[in-house]
Structure 1
């Protein structure tokens, strides 16, 4: 089927470079908007940082978020599992005195027992056992997670099943694991805000950045379904999906 030139122009956004954890190409231009949560991970993290002497930022990406939380404690480490981001994170963070570590296994972090009094984790996998090993008694673990039902409407529109490995990842499951590993939960909440795409190119760019949503994603394979989404946007003005987010603040004991 012949596609219109506007559609072809949009899907070409898959060739745009993506680095760190920076969605400004589509969010900064208003092509993608996300609904508001009733909490702010950044505000909570900033307050905790001011009371910490040593901290770890898990899954720092390119270090963009962490660098904006200054002033930071005397001792700060950051981890990142995606190798292309490690170089960027080191460039951004090491001039600030932050040590960046490449990790391969959540259950084997290169830190001593009881090393940190604050551990931050935004949208990164973790082993609750390992987090408890490296955090001090009375230390705080703050994590905001992407739940297993995140953006399921994208999968439905493209005819792809949700990843069964993560489908049941939600606040209830995370709290069970946290409590089992000697943490007292201080705060927790779960919400499903709307994420809106105003053109199919923004969706394509987004899917390239988060390959776990549609692991075999390519324009060629999903062109027909993408064109249907494009037509939906042309008709309605946008394509809405539901995000799945939850947050936990817990104290080690």
Structure 2
């Protein structure tokens, strides 16, 4: 396909939940199995002692559903409106309530409501986590760090992430200040590759926080330059930034 066809495809390809199968062969991140830890296993390690579970930012509910069997009382939140019906279709038949939330990280639950709170790639307020977490409870999170795919921003001439300083140390310090003790932590950077400009445009379309002012018109020059480079067999190489923590109040 030529440039215009790829751009149009990136702008119109349907995408729901966080199923990245649509990118197969066009955008590739290192497998989650390449991380020095397993987020699902971090959660499973805590499930036997948890009578209740809250999943923050469940996306389409894919990861949460994969962790079954789950505690009898399990709930989830999602802040990205297009994902809410997807998550409800997947999770409500499992008896899991999905609550739509806003951008302020405030949670629509009572104090001490959950034994285990988990967050995969979702923002959170440490004080609010402390409020909703039951005494003796556990918070498990894997986060996208502030250096994530910074090479994309550089290639486009776009500003760096507003959250560029978000890393393991910053997260651990925030949790400690909120009265948590971090009991386990890890951080890693893994390779990612964009093979064509359509895949890059689709990625930026579904992650509007990555380049907040992105439009194909505003970034037409860099996009055409990248298309020429990619078409010549030189994909855009970048690094994914991930870190994870387990903490107790």
Is TM (by shorter chain) over 0.5? yes
Q: CA deviation at 1:225?
A: 0.9
C-alpha root-mean-square deviation of aligned residues, in Å?
1.5
Distance 1:232 1:50 in 2: 51
Q: 1:201 aligns with which of 198, 201, 208?
A: 198
> Are 2:105 and 2:123, in contact at CA under 8 Å, matched by a contact in 1?
no
Partner of 1:7: 3
> Are 2:28 and 2:194, in contact at CA under 8 Å, matched by a contact in 1?
yes
Q: 1:179 aligns with which of 176, 180, 191?
A: 176
Please give the secondary structure, in 1, of the residue aligned with 2:218: helix
TM-score (norm 2): 0.93
Please give the secondary structure, in 2, of the residue aligned with 1:219: coil
Partner of 2:27: 32
Distance 1:50 1:238 in 2: 44
Q: CA deviation at 1:56?
A: 0.2
Distance 2:200 2:233 in 1: 16
Unpaired segments of 5 or more residues in structure 2? none
> Are 1:56 and 1:118, in contact at CA under 8 Å, matched by a contact in 2?
yes
Partner of 1:211: 208
Q: CA deviation at 1:118?
A: 0.6
Between 29-38 and 193-202, the greater mean CA deviation after superposition: 29-38
Distance 1:83 1:231 in 2: 35
Q: CA deviation at 1:107?
A: 4.5
Q: 1:79 aligns with which of 59, 70, 77?
A: 77
Distance 2:225 2:36 in 1: 33
Partner of 1:129: 127
Equivalent positions of 1:42-121 (< 5 A) are 42-121=40-119
> Are 2:54 and 2:117, in contact at CA under 8 Å, matched by a contact in 1?
yes
Please give the secondary structure, in 1, of the residue aligned with 2:45: helix
Please give the secondary structure, in 1, of the residue aligned with 2:82: helix
Aligned length in residues: 245
Distance 1:77 1:113 in 2: 15
Distance 1:106 1:219 in 2: 29
Q: 2:164 aligns with which of 154, 167, 174?
A: 167
Distance 1:40 1:137 in 2: 26
Unpaired segments of 5 or more residues in structure 1? none
Partner of 1:232: 229
- Inter-CA distance 9–189: structure 2 relative to 1 (3 Å threshold): same
Partner of 2:242: 245
Distance 1:192 1:147 in 2: 9
